Amino acid sequence: MNPIDAYQWLATHSRETALLGSVARLLGWDQRTYIPLKGHAHRADQLALMARLIHERETDPRVGEHLSQVEGSELTADPGSPEAVNAREWRRTFERATRIPPELAEALAKAAAEGETAWEQARPQNDWPGFLPFLERLVDLSRQEAEALGYTTEPYDALLDGYEVGETAAGLESLFRNLRESLVPLVDAIRGSSRVPDVAVLHRHYPRALQEQFSREAVVKIGYDLEAGRLDPTAHPFSTGLGPGDVRITTRYDENFFSTAFFGTLHETGHALYNQGLPPEHWGTPRGHSISLGIHESQSRMWENLVGRSLGFWEHFFPKAQALFPSLQDVSLETFHFAINQVAPSLIRVEADEVTYNLHIIFRFELERSLINGGLQARDLPEAWNAKIQEYLGLTPPDDRDGVMQDVHWSGGHLGYFPTYTLGNIYAAQFFAKASGELGDPAGLFARGEFETLLDWLRRNIHSQGSRHRPRDLVRVVTGEDRDSRFLVEYLSDKVKALYALK
């Protein structure tokens, strides 16, 4: 077969595999939103079958044979061409997939589906013993996965690379250490400030229906196409891209806390904007797919925090919020803005402020790294968790529900995922600094309700690129520099020093 015909076979095969993947994601979306309670066992079998079918296609020997015809041909002479990008990523996917035995791929998918269901039922009951067997199974399978994939230094690297291409635990350890050394003194300085935000205004009554209305208006305003998406309630917010014209977000509501739904919705909208901005003509091939979770997270954290918690954003939206929510009618813009930017150690990661959030991620990274490398057993996680959160944030969880069981990730087998959140924060600050330098101070744009200028910049520089560049390469191409935590540190320092009147 000649290179052109081989490439066409690979492209067709890739798109058909992507269609199966989108069906699996739709099953997963339904499982986490509207599935009846008694349907979970059957859904686990469905997802396991989908995983097996996808794995069989990814490991089809013909993929390797046709790739050998394409690689080194004129089709891949330009490394930035769609053909070269696709061949590069198909090779990576093929090599990873062929190292995983089919029975392991199916077992992982089924254990993940069962684990999430067990977590959804056990967490509200604070039932760690009931959830533990599912987690032990997932950790064991994840260790098997790491061994099957292979690694140079440590097992955790094999899993991490699946979420953030080219990353290693050692590299993250150094990056995160530098970040922690900058953030801890900042948190200490805030503790010494005499300025204290009135966060009670966020814990007034905010009717769910009005929260949903306001959230919908906000996400449409910043660019989310609801004719190509949905907003639904769930236990743990997420976004999923099912394909062109169908990118969905979810959120959870608390009628006595404004921030939970609104900022969670903005976060998931950032993910959705990225998915809606991917080039549809390349859907089903790597060139039309996002490159990593860290880059994906940069988009969600940017819209949630650098945009959504900015003064300019609320100069535009606060009058609308006051008109909608009686609870805000006696609150000033300055009081509200300070409240949503409070910095204070908290137990729950998804409710953490911008500064301490990264400390949550760093200790989770250390725990799951130890879990996979064998230094920690799942049964010992509650004690290890409580020790870490005490060390990093000075807190002790009252129970496992708000401690080791608070996140959905491990219940779904996503070990190696957590570091991408802080990588996303680092990338977001660096991208935002570059965009601000090119577009001018965004505050004025936001205050006028002009969000399309930033979104267009992101679409040109990041979304439309798909998997053209690996994560660190994309950062270099867009900003002209390697990834650097100093942009995040500078952004956070400038912001909180102004709010808390620090020197």
Q: Domain check: are 199 and 124 in the same one?
A: no
Q: What is the span of the domain harbouring residue 92?
A: 3-143
What span, in angstroms and rounded, lies between the C-alpha atoms of 50 and 110? 10
10 Å CB burial of residue 345 (0-12, 13-18, 19+) is: middle
Nearest to 408 by CA among 269, 288, 250, 292: 250
| Residue pLDDT, tens place only, 287-313 | 999 999 999 999 999 999 999 999 999
Q: Which of 143, 159, 177 is the last residue of a domain?
A: 143
pLDDT (0 to 100) of residue 258:
97
Please report whether residue 291 resides in a domain: yes
Decide the pairing of beta strands 231-233 and 239-243: unpaired
Share of the chain above pLDDT 70, in %: 100
Structurally, how many domains does the chain consist of? Answer: 2
Structural domain includes residue 277: yes
* The pLDDT value given to residue 236: 80
Task: Kindly state whether residues 200 and 119 are assigned to the same domain.
Answer: no
> Structure tokens of 191?
């503790």
Domain shared by 136 and 200, yes or no: no
Please tell me whether residues 494 and 349 are part of one structural domain.
Answer: yes
Q: pLDDT tens digit string along 321-337? A: 999 999 999 999 999 99
Strand partners, 98: none
Q: Give the contacts of 378 (CB within 8 A, at least 6 positions apart).
A: 132, 135, 136, 139, 371
* Boundary-marking domain end, from 143, 159, 182: 143
Examine the residue annotation and report whether 255 is marked as an active-site residue of this protein: no
Residues 108 and 205 reside in one and the same domain: no
Do 25 and 130 reside in the same domain of the chain? yes
Q: What pLDDT, on a 0 to 100 scale, did the predictor assign at position 481?
A: 96
Torsions phi, psi of 237, nearest 5?
-55, 145
Please report the pLDDT score of residue 103 as a whole number.
92
- Specify whether 120 is located in the same domain as 214: no
Q: Which amino acid is at 38?
A: K
pLDDT tens for 115-156 read: 999 999 999 999 999 999 999 999 999 999 999 999 999 999
pLDDT band, very low/low/confident/very high, at 350 (cuts 50, 70, 90): confident
Indicate the pLDDT class of residue 482, thresholds 50, 70 and 90. very high
| Statement to judge: residues 328 and 444 lie in one domain | yes
**What's the mean pLDDT in 493-501?**
95
List the structure tokens of 321.
């919020």
Mean pLDDT of the chain: 95
Answer whether residue 364 is part of any domain: no
121 with 261, same domain: the answer is no
**Is 176 inside a domain boundary?**
no
In a domain, 151, yes or no: no
Helix (H) or strand (E) holding 23: helix 3-31
Instruction: Say which of 268, 354, 366, 368 is annotated catalytic.
Output: 268
Say yes or no: 137 and 204 in one domain: no
> Is 53 domain-assigned?
yes
Residue 1 reports pLDDT greater than 90 = no
Residue 441 has pLDDT above 90, yes or no: no
User: Is residue 381 one of the residues assigned to a domain?
Assistant: no
CATH assignment at residue 472 = 1.10.1370.30
In this structure, are 125 and 260 located in the same domain?
no
Higher pLDDT: 192 or 447? It is: 447
* Same domain, residue pair 139 and 241: no
Q: Does residue 351 register a pLDDT over 90?
A: no
Q: Which of 143, 172, 203 is the last residue of a domain?
A: 143
What tokens appear for 279 in the block? Answer: 């080039």
Backbone angles phi, psi at 242, to 5 degrees: -90, -15
Q: C-alpha distances in angstroms, 81 versus 72, 178, 198, 282, 283?
A: 13, 36, 53, 12, 15
384-428 tens-digit pLDDT: 999 999 999 999 999 999 999 999 999 999 999 999 999 999 999
The pLDDT > 90 percentage for the chain reads 95
pLDDT for the residue numbered 503: 80
Encode pLDDT of 174-221 as tens digits: 999 999 999 999 999 998 899 999 999 999 999 999 999 999 999 999
